Amino acid sequence: MDVNEIIKPENKVYGKSPVLTDTVMHYCPGCSHGTIHKLIAEVIEEMGIQEKTIGISPVGCAVFAYNYLHIDWQQAAHGRAPALATATKRLYPDKYVFTYQGDGDIAAIGTSETIHACNRGENIVVIFVNNAIYGMTGGQMSPLTLEGQVTATTPYGRRTDLNGYPLKITDLVAQLEGTCYVTRQSVQTAGAVRKAKKAVRKAFENSANGKGTSFIEVVSSCNSGWKLTPVAANKWMEENLFPFYPLGDLKDK
């Protein structure tokens, strides 16, 4: 059969979103970032908002998102993405503005910006990847590292008497009046990806409708930082992170 007979619109199963650039992703094998980029790109494409979307990236693995999504981007200082997103959305209220952050960025140096932007109810979307570790800089403990979890800076496991308790930042922002949609998702299976994509679509629609801040946590693996294979990392995530950070919507108003 002629290849042109096969490559027809009615036979198409899947195509890469044009919102994704042709840059080959550099992430570690098994990393969740690439999958999250893909579903964000698909939502932007399906909503027809590529020319109206502005992403804000900070520091850490999340910063490289600007290499892979063909939209307008700004880079914020470490932890300041919600503040920069606030200014951008207020200056350009017709734009779709979202932040793309890691758990250390959003819940350590950026805790203040996160809490106050959410409390004000800025019409932005906050997406953060929670792998419970500082993935880029050597696998150190992050605010969301589990009790007893081994990291580069907690080689005998996180101790609450020394390091404090894991910070459930998503649970905190769900209590704030300014947040309209708060959810916790994952992308380790096809079904999980579909749910996460649905959440991203809803968040962008909330922003367009002026409902306030939509906050999406994506519980993810960091097999390099955890010193596990991709398969083992997903299993560890399901057995350890999911019980402490249960998936699902925390708030939807």
**Tens digit of pLDDT for each residue in 184-229?**
999 999 999 999 999 999 999 999 999 999 999 999 999 999 999 9
Q: How confident is the model at residue 173 (pLDDT cuts 50, 70, 90)?
A: very high
Q: Alpha-carbon distance 124 to 207, whole Å?
A: 6
Classify 211 in phi/psi space as left (phi over 0), alpha (psi -120 to 50) or beta: alpha
Of 68, 56, 61, the closest CA to residue 103 belongs to 61
Question: Is residue 1 over pLDDT 60?
Answer: no
Q: Please tell me the pTM assigned to this model.
A: 0.94
Residue extents of the structural domains in the chain: 18-252
Relative to beta strand 96-102, strand 213-219 is: unpaired
HEC sequence for 48-89: CCHHHEEEEECCCHHHHHHHCECCEEEECCCCCHHHHHHHHH
Classify 225 in phi/psi space as left (phi over 0), alpha (psi -120 to 50) or beta: alpha
51 class by beta-carbon count within 10 Å (0-12 exposed, 13-18 middle, 19+ buried): exposed
- Give Dmax over CA atoms of the chain in angstroms: 69
Q: How confident is the model at residue 4 (pLDDT cuts 50, 70, 90)?
A: low
Q: Alpha-carbon distance 207 to 211, whole Å?
A: 6
Residue 212 CA: distances (Å) to CA of 126, 156, 178, 191, 207? 11, 41, 6, 28, 7
pLDDT of residue 13: 77
CA 236 to chain centre: 19
pLDDT of residue 228: 93
**Tens digit of pLDDT for each residue in 39-56?**
999 999 999 999 999 999
What are the two backbone dihedrals, phi and then psi, of residue 140, each rounded to the nearest 5 degrees? -75, 170
At the fourth CATH level, which superfamily is domain 18-252? Thiamin diphosphate (ThDP)-binding fold, Pyr/PP domains (3.40.50.970)
pLDDT of residue 247: 98
pLDDT of residue 17: 94
Point out which residues pair with 57 in neighbouring strands.
Answer: 75
Q: How confident is the model at residue 6 (pLDDT cuts 50, 70, 90)?
A: low
